[in-house]
Amino acid sequence: MNKKLKIAQFGLGPIGVATLKLAASKPWAQVIGGIDIDPAKAGRDLGDLTGVRGLRSLAVYQSIEQLFAHGKPDIIFHTAVSRFRAAYPQLEEIARHGISVVSSCEELLFPQLRKPALARRLDGICRRTGARIVAAGVNPGFVMDVLPLCLSGVSCNVRAVHVQRVVNASTRRGPLQRKIGSGLPPEEFRRRLRQGKVGHAGLRESLALIAHTLGWKTQRITERGDAVLAERAIHTSYVAVKKGLTCGLHQRAEAKVNGRIVLTLDLKMYLDAADPHDAIQIVGDPPIELRINCGVAGDQATAGALVNTARRLLSAMPGLLLVTDLPLPHLD
Protein backbone atom coordinates (compact mmCIF):
# COMPACT_ATOMS: atom_id res chain seq x y z
CA MET A 1 0.00 0.00 0.00
CA ASN A 2 3.03 2.25 0.41
CA LYS A 3 4.00 2.43 -3.21
CA LYS A 4 1.44 3.69 -5.68
CA LEU A 5 0.55 1.58 -8.69
CA LYS A 6 1.62 3.14 -11.96
CA ILE A 7 -1.34 3.18 -14.32
CA ALA A 8 -1.69 3.75 -18.05
CA GLN A 9 -4.88 3.89 -20.11
CA PHE A 10 -5.01 2.21 -23.55
CA GLY A 11 -8.02 3.53 -25.48
CA LEU A 12 -9.48 6.95 -24.79
CA GLY A 13 -13.11 6.58 -25.88
CA PRO A 14 -15.89 7.30 -23.37
CA ILE A 15 -15.23 4.15 -21.29
CA GLY A 16 -11.47 4.69 -21.37
CA VAL A 17 -11.78 8.30 -20.21
CA ALA A 18 -14.23 7.31 -17.45
CA THR A 19 -11.85 4.55 -16.32
CA LEU A 20 -8.86 6.88 -16.33
CA LYS A 21 -10.71 9.57 -14.36
CA LEU A 22 -11.77 7.03 -11.77
CA ALA A 23 -8.28 5.52 -11.52
CA ALA A 24 -6.78 9.02 -11.14
CA SER A 25 -9.03 9.58 -8.10
CA LYS A 26 -7.70 6.54 -6.21
CA PRO A 27 -5.06 7.13 -3.52
CA TRP A 28 -3.27 3.93 -4.56
CA ALA A 29 -2.89 4.90 -8.23
CA GLN A 30 -0.55 7.16 -10.16
CA VAL A 31 -1.41 7.73 -13.82
CA ILE A 32 1.66 7.90 -16.05
CA GLY A 33 0.07 8.31 -19.49
CA GLY A 34 -2.45 7.30 -22.12
CA ILE A 35 -2.37 5.47 -25.45
CA ASP A 36 -4.70 5.90 -28.39
CA ILE A 37 -4.03 4.90 -31.97
CA ASP A 38 -6.33 7.69 -33.20
CA PRO A 39 -4.01 10.43 -34.58
CA ALA A 40 -6.56 13.04 -33.44
CA LYS A 41 -5.90 12.02 -29.84
CA ALA A 42 -2.25 10.95 -29.89
CA GLY A 43 0.10 13.76 -28.94
CA ARG A 44 -2.52 15.65 -26.95
CA ASP A 45 -2.27 16.53 -23.28
CA LEU A 46 -4.08 13.94 -21.15
CA GLY A 47 -5.38 16.64 -18.80
CA ASP A 48 -6.93 18.57 -21.68
CA LEU A 49 -8.43 15.44 -23.22
CA THR A 50 -10.05 14.27 -19.98
CA GLY A 51 -10.67 17.58 -18.23
CA VAL A 52 -8.81 16.28 -15.18
CA ARG A 53 -6.44 18.87 -13.78
CA GLY A 54 -4.20 16.28 -12.13
CA LEU A 55 -3.46 14.67 -15.50
CA ARG A 56 -2.04 17.83 -17.08
CA SER A 57 1.38 17.52 -18.68
CA LEU A 58 0.90 13.78 -19.13
CA ALA A 59 0.90 12.66 -22.76
CA VAL A 60 -1.30 10.56 -25.00
CA TYR A 61 1.03 8.25 -26.93
CA GLN A 62 0.16 6.61 -30.22
CA SER A 63 1.67 3.25 -29.36
CA ILE A 64 2.64 1.03 -26.46
CA GLU A 65 6.27 1.36 -27.55
CA GLN A 66 6.14 5.15 -27.25
CA LEU A 67 4.62 4.96 -23.77
CA PHE A 68 7.19 2.41 -22.60
CA ALA A 69 10.03 4.64 -23.89
CA HIS A 70 8.85 7.23 -21.37
CA GLY A 71 8.06 4.93 -18.45
CA LYS A 72 6.66 1.53 -17.57
CA PRO A 73 3.34 1.18 -15.80
CA ASP A 74 2.48 -1.64 -13.37
CA ILE A 75 -0.88 -2.10 -15.02
CA ILE A 76 -2.72 -0.96 -18.14
CA PHE A 77 -6.45 -0.49 -18.47
CA HIS A 78 -7.27 -1.63 -22.00
CA THR A 79 -10.55 -0.38 -23.48
CA ALA A 80 -9.92 -0.56 -27.20
CA VAL A 81 -11.65 -3.49 -28.94
CA SER A 82 -14.34 -6.14 -28.45
CA ARG A 83 -12.73 -9.05 -30.34
CA PHE A 84 -9.97 -11.12 -28.75
CA ARG A 85 -8.31 -11.52 -32.16
CA ALA A 86 -8.06 -7.74 -32.51
CA ALA A 87 -6.86 -7.32 -28.92
CA TYR A 88 -4.27 -10.08 -29.20
CA PRO A 89 -1.30 -8.17 -30.74
CA GLN A 90 -1.79 -5.31 -28.27
CA LEU A 91 -2.01 -7.66 -25.29
CA GLU A 92 0.96 -9.72 -26.46
CA GLU A 93 3.17 -6.65 -26.76
CA ILE A 94 2.23 -5.54 -23.23
CA ALA A 95 2.61 -9.04 -21.78
CA ARG A 96 6.10 -9.43 -23.29
CA HIS A 97 7.16 -6.55 -21.05
CA GLY A 98 5.72 -8.35 -17.99
CA ILE A 99 3.06 -5.70 -17.55
CA SER A 100 -0.45 -6.62 -16.42
CA VAL A 101 -3.71 -5.68 -18.11
CA VAL A 102 -7.34 -5.28 -17.07
CA SER A 103 -9.29 -5.18 -20.32
CA SER A 104 -12.88 -4.44 -21.29
CA CYS A 105 -12.43 -6.65 -24.41
CA GLU A 106 -15.64 -8.67 -24.35
CA GLU A 107 -14.28 -11.86 -25.91
CA LEU A 108 -11.37 -11.86 -23.45
CA LEU A 109 -13.84 -12.87 -20.72
CA PHE A 110 -13.42 -16.45 -21.94
CA PRO A 111 -10.83 -16.25 -24.72
CA GLN A 112 -10.45 -20.02 -25.11
CA LEU A 113 -13.97 -20.19 -26.57
CA ARG A 114 -13.11 -18.76 -30.00
CA LYS A 115 -9.31 -18.75 -30.06
CA PRO A 116 -7.95 -21.51 -27.81
CA ALA A 117 -4.51 -21.54 -29.46
CA LEU A 118 -4.06 -17.76 -29.09
CA ALA A 119 -5.28 -17.96 -25.50
CA ARG A 120 -2.73 -20.68 -24.65
CA ARG A 121 0.02 -18.68 -26.31
CA LEU A 122 -0.80 -15.48 -24.41
CA ASP A 123 -1.06 -17.46 -21.16
CA GLY A 124 2.39 -18.92 -21.78
CA ILE A 125 3.91 -15.48 -22.38
CA CYS A 126 2.30 -14.12 -19.19
CA ARG A 127 3.62 -17.01 -17.11
CA ARG A 128 7.14 -16.46 -18.43
CA THR A 129 7.15 -12.68 -17.91
CA GLY A 130 5.03 -12.45 -14.75
CA ALA A 131 2.20 -10.52 -16.42
CA ARG A 132 -1.43 -11.06 -15.46
CA ILE A 133 -4.23 -10.39 -17.95
CA VAL A 134 -7.93 -10.50 -17.21
CA ALA A 135 -11.17 -9.10 -18.64
CA ALA A 136 -13.57 -7.11 -16.50
CA GLY A 137 -16.80 -5.27 -17.06
CA VAL A 138 -20.50 -5.21 -16.34
CA ASN A 139 -21.70 -7.26 -19.28
CA PRO A 140 -19.84 -9.42 -19.92
CA GLY A 141 -17.99 -9.56 -16.62
CA PHE A 142 -20.65 -9.22 -13.96
CA VAL A 143 -24.43 -9.23 -14.41
CA MET A 144 -24.80 -12.21 -16.73
CA ASP A 145 -21.89 -14.36 -15.47
CA VAL A 146 -20.10 -13.36 -12.25
CA LEU A 147 -23.26 -12.57 -10.29
CA PRO A 148 -25.10 -15.82 -11.20
CA LEU A 149 -21.93 -17.79 -10.40
CA CYS A 150 -21.66 -16.02 -7.04
CA LEU A 151 -25.26 -17.01 -6.24
CA SER A 152 -24.48 -20.63 -7.11
CA GLY A 153 -21.94 -20.51 -4.27
CA VAL A 154 -24.74 -21.02 -1.74
CA SER A 155 -26.36 -23.79 -3.77
CA CYS A 156 -26.31 -27.51 -3.06
CA ASN A 157 -27.25 -28.25 -6.62
CA VAL A 158 -28.01 -26.22 -9.74
CA ARG A 159 -30.15 -27.59 -12.56
CA ALA A 160 -30.39 -24.45 -14.70
CA VAL A 161 -29.40 -20.78 -14.77
CA HIS A 162 -31.48 -18.16 -16.56
CA VAL A 163 -30.47 -14.51 -16.84
CA GLN A 164 -32.39 -11.62 -18.38
CA ARG A 165 -31.07 -8.12 -18.87
CA VAL A 166 -33.11 -5.24 -20.26
CA VAL A 167 -31.15 -2.04 -20.87
CA ASN A 168 -32.67 1.31 -21.76
CA ALA A 169 -30.03 2.31 -24.30
CA SER A 170 -31.24 5.92 -24.35
CA THR A 171 -29.35 6.38 -21.08
CA ARG A 172 -26.07 5.05 -22.54
CA ARG A 173 -23.06 6.44 -24.41
CA GLY A 174 -23.12 7.27 -28.14
CA PRO A 175 -20.89 4.38 -29.32
CA LEU A 176 -23.22 1.92 -27.61
CA GLN A 177 -26.32 3.49 -29.17
CA ARG A 178 -24.69 2.97 -32.56
CA LYS A 179 -23.39 -0.54 -31.75
CA ILE A 180 -26.95 -1.72 -31.15
CA GLY A 181 -27.84 -0.61 -34.68
CA SER A 182 -29.94 2.47 -33.90
CA GLY A 183 -31.44 3.96 -37.07
CA LEU A 184 -30.67 1.03 -39.38
CA PRO A 185 -33.37 -0.57 -41.53
CA PRO A 186 -34.04 -4.02 -40.03
CA GLU A 187 -32.59 -5.90 -43.02
CA GLU A 188 -29.39 -3.88 -42.83
CA PHE A 189 -29.24 -4.55 -39.07
CA ARG A 190 -29.50 -8.29 -39.67
CA ARG A 191 -26.80 -8.17 -42.36
CA ARG A 192 -24.41 -6.29 -40.08
CA LEU A 193 -25.25 -8.55 -37.13
CA ARG A 194 -24.23 -11.59 -39.20
CA GLN A 195 -20.97 -9.80 -40.02
CA GLY A 196 -20.40 -8.96 -36.38
CA LYS A 197 -20.47 -5.22 -37.12
CA VAL A 198 -23.38 -4.47 -34.79
CA GLY A 199 -24.61 -6.33 -31.76
CA HIS A 200 -23.54 -7.07 -28.21
CA ALA A 201 -20.25 -8.95 -27.98
CA GLY A 202 -19.58 -11.42 -25.22
CA LEU A 203 -22.91 -13.14 -24.64
CA ARG A 204 -21.53 -16.52 -25.68
CA GLU A 205 -18.46 -15.88 -23.55
CA SER A 206 -20.65 -15.21 -20.48
CA LEU A 207 -22.45 -18.46 -21.07
CA ALA A 208 -19.24 -20.40 -21.65
CA LEU A 209 -17.72 -18.98 -18.45
CA ILE A 210 -20.72 -20.11 -16.41
CA ALA A 211 -20.67 -23.60 -17.94
CA HIS A 212 -16.89 -23.92 -17.47
CA THR A 213 -16.99 -22.77 -13.83
CA LEU A 214 -19.90 -25.07 -12.95
CA GLY A 215 -18.11 -27.94 -14.67
CA TRP A 216 -20.95 -28.43 -17.17
CA LYS A 217 -20.14 -30.03 -20.50
CA THR A 218 -22.49 -28.11 -22.75
CA GLN A 219 -23.34 -29.39 -26.17
CA ARG A 220 -23.78 -26.59 -28.69
CA ILE A 221 -24.05 -22.94 -27.67
CA THR A 222 -26.64 -21.27 -29.89
CA GLU A 223 -27.01 -17.53 -30.23
CA ARG A 224 -29.77 -15.63 -31.98
CA GLY A 225 -30.29 -11.94 -32.43
CA ASP A 226 -32.70 -9.60 -34.10
CA ALA A 227 -33.57 -5.93 -34.33
CA VAL A 228 -36.05 -4.25 -32.02
CA LEU A 229 -38.02 -1.74 -34.13
CA ALA A 230 -39.00 1.75 -33.00
CA GLU A 231 -42.72 2.03 -32.38
CA ARG A 232 -42.43 5.80 -32.76
CA ALA A 233 -39.70 8.29 -33.68
CA ILE A 234 -36.95 8.44 -31.02
CA HIS A 235 -34.38 11.19 -30.51
CA THR A 236 -31.45 10.88 -28.11
CA SER A 237 -28.37 13.10 -27.67
CA TYR A 238 -26.56 10.86 -30.15
CA VAL A 239 -29.01 9.36 -32.64
CA ALA A 240 -32.37 9.93 -34.31
CA VAL A 241 -34.50 6.90 -35.23
CA LYS A 242 -37.62 6.98 -37.41
CA LYS A 243 -40.62 4.84 -36.60
CA GLY A 244 -40.13 1.29 -37.98
CA LEU A 245 -36.33 1.43 -38.03
CA THR A 246 -33.99 -0.37 -35.65
CA CYS A 247 -33.82 1.13 -32.14
CA GLY A 248 -31.81 -1.70 -30.58
CA LEU A 249 -31.46 -5.42 -30.29
CA HIS A 250 -32.65 -8.62 -28.67
CA GLN A 251 -29.96 -11.31 -28.36
CA ARG A 252 -30.23 -14.67 -26.71
CA ALA A 253 -27.70 -17.41 -26.06
CA GLU A 254 -28.65 -20.89 -24.93
CA ALA A 255 -26.87 -24.11 -24.11
CA LYS A 256 -28.03 -27.63 -23.49
CA VAL A 257 -26.62 -30.36 -21.28
CA ASN A 258 -27.92 -33.86 -22.04
CA GLY A 259 -30.50 -32.43 -24.44
CA ARG A 260 -32.08 -30.12 -21.86
CA ILE A 261 -31.73 -26.32 -22.02
CA VAL A 262 -29.88 -25.43 -18.82
CA LEU A 263 -28.41 -22.01 -19.57
CA THR A 264 -30.20 -19.07 -21.15
CA LEU A 265 -28.90 -15.53 -21.34
CA ASP A 266 -31.42 -13.09 -22.75
CA LEU A 267 -30.40 -9.50 -23.50
CA LYS A 268 -32.54 -6.63 -24.73
CA MET A 269 -30.82 -3.30 -25.31
CA TYR A 270 -32.86 -0.68 -27.08
CA LEU A 271 -33.71 2.99 -26.96
CA ASP A 272 -36.49 3.94 -24.54
CA ALA A 273 -36.80 0.34 -23.26
CA ALA A 274 -39.40 0.19 -20.50
CA ASP A 275 -38.70 -1.45 -17.13
CA PRO A 276 -34.93 -1.91 -17.45
CA HIS A 277 -33.73 -4.59 -15.03
CA ASP A 278 -31.42 -7.53 -14.42
CA ALA A 279 -33.00 -10.81 -13.35
CA ILE A 280 -31.25 -14.04 -12.40
CA GLN A 281 -32.94 -17.34 -11.75
CA ILE A 282 -31.01 -20.22 -10.21
CA VAL A 283 -33.06 -23.39 -10.64
CA GLY A 284 -31.62 -25.50 -7.89
CA ASP A 285 -31.55 -26.29 -4.20
CA PRO A 286 -32.36 -23.77 -2.87
CA PRO A 287 -34.08 -21.93 -5.71
CA ILE A 288 -32.93 -18.30 -5.96
CA GLU A 289 -34.58 -15.46 -7.84
CA LEU A 290 -32.79 -12.16 -7.87
CA ARG A 291 -33.86 -8.90 -9.44
CA ILE A 292 -32.09 -5.56 -9.76
CA ASN A 293 -34.62 -2.90 -10.69
CA CYS A 294 -33.24 -0.48 -13.30
CA GLY A 295 -30.33 -2.93 -13.76
CA VAL A 296 -26.68 -2.22 -13.13
CA ALA A 297 -26.13 0.97 -15.15
CA GLY A 298 -23.54 0.16 -17.77
CA ASP A 299 -21.01 2.87 -18.49
CA GLN A 300 -20.21 4.14 -15.02
CA ALA A 301 -20.24 0.62 -13.63
CA THR A 302 -17.84 -0.59 -16.32
CA ALA A 303 -15.24 1.95 -15.23
CA GLY A 304 -15.80 0.77 -11.64
CA ALA A 305 -15.42 -2.88 -12.63
CA LEU A 306 -12.11 -2.21 -14.41
CA VAL A 307 -10.54 -0.07 -11.70
CA ASN A 308 -11.74 -2.33 -8.86
CA THR A 309 -10.05 -5.29 -10.56
CA ALA A 310 -6.51 -3.83 -10.70
CA ARG A 311 -5.18 -4.62 -7.25
CA ARG A 312 -6.96 -7.95 -7.00
CA LEU A 313 -5.37 -8.93 -10.31
CA LEU A 314 -1.87 -8.07 -9.12
CA SER A 315 -2.34 -10.34 -6.09
CA ALA A 316 -3.05 -13.34 -8.37
CA MET A 317 -0.68 -15.76 -10.06
CA PRO A 318 0.72 -14.71 -13.47
CA GLY A 319 -1.18 -15.88 -16.53
CA LEU A 320 -4.11 -15.17 -18.80
CA LEU A 321 -6.74 -15.39 -16.07
CA LEU A 322 -10.49 -15.69 -15.75
CA VAL A 323 -12.40 -13.34 -13.44
CA THR A 324 -13.29 -16.44 -11.44
CA ASP A 325 -9.58 -16.87 -10.59
CA LEU A 326 -9.55 -13.58 -8.67
CA PRO A 327 -10.75 -12.92 -5.13
CA LEU A 328 -14.30 -11.67 -4.53
CA PRO A 329 -14.98 -8.37 -6.37
CA HIS A 330 -15.39 -5.27 -4.21
CA LEU A 331 -14.95 -1.51 -4.36
CA ASP A 332 -11.28 -0.67 -4.06
Asked if 300 is part of the footprint of a second copy (rule: CB under 8 A), the reply reads yes
**CA–CA gap between residue 128 and residue 122 (Å, rounded):** 10
Residue of 87, 81, 137 lying closest to 299 (CA atoms): 137
Q: How far, in Å, CA of 142 to CA of 7, rounded?
A: 23
Phi-psi region of 37 (alpha: psi -120 to 50; beta: other; left: phi over 0): alpha
Binding to a second copy, residues 130-169 (CB under 8 A): 138, 142, 146-147, 149-150, 152-158
Minimum separation from the CB atom of position 208 to a second copy (A):
14
Print the binding letters for residues 90-129 with a second copy: x by CB under 8 A, - otherwise: ----------------------------------------
Q: Does 273 bind a second copy (CB under 8 A)?
A: no
Dihedral, CA atoms, 210, 213, 218, 222, nearest 10 degrees? 20
- Rounded to the nearest whole angstrom, what is the least distance from the CB of residue 302 to a second copy in the complex? 8
- 324 touches a second copy (CB under 8 A): yes
| Closest to a second copy by CB, 87 or 301 | 301
Residues 228 and 270 sit within 8 Å (Cβ to Cβ) = yes
What is the Cα–Cα distance from 67 to 76, expressed in whole angstroms? 11
**What is the DSSP secondary-structure string of 172-188?**
S-HHHHHHTTTT--HHH
Q: Are 62 and 39 in contact (CB under 8 A)?
A: yes
Considering the complex, state which of residue 70 and residue 291 has its C-beta at the smaller distance from a second copy.
291
The residues with which 261 forms a beta bridge, in sequence order, are 256
Minimum distance, C-beta of residue 228 to a second copy, in the bound complex (Å): 23
- Candidates 48, 65, 187, 289; binder of a second copy (CB under 8 A) is 289
Compose the 177-216 pattern: x for residues touching a second copy by CB under 8 A, - for all others. Answer: ------------------------------------xxx-
Say which residues have a Cβ less than 8 Å from residue 117's Cβ, sequence separation at least 6. Answer: none
Alpha-helical segments (H) within 97-136:
116-129
Backbone angles phi, psi at 228, to 5 degrees: -100, 130
Report if residue 229 touches a second copy, rule: CB under 8 A.
Answer: no
- Segment interacting with a second copy, rule: CB under 8 A, options 46-54, 57-65, 226-234, 280-288: 280-288
**Which residue number, 62 or 112, has a Cβ lying nearer to a second copy?**
112
Q: How far is the CB of 93 from a second copy (least distance, A)?
A: 28
Residues that bind a second copy (CB under 8 A): 22, 138, 142, 146-147, 149-150, 152-158, 213-215, 284-294, 296-297, 300-305, 307-309, 323-332
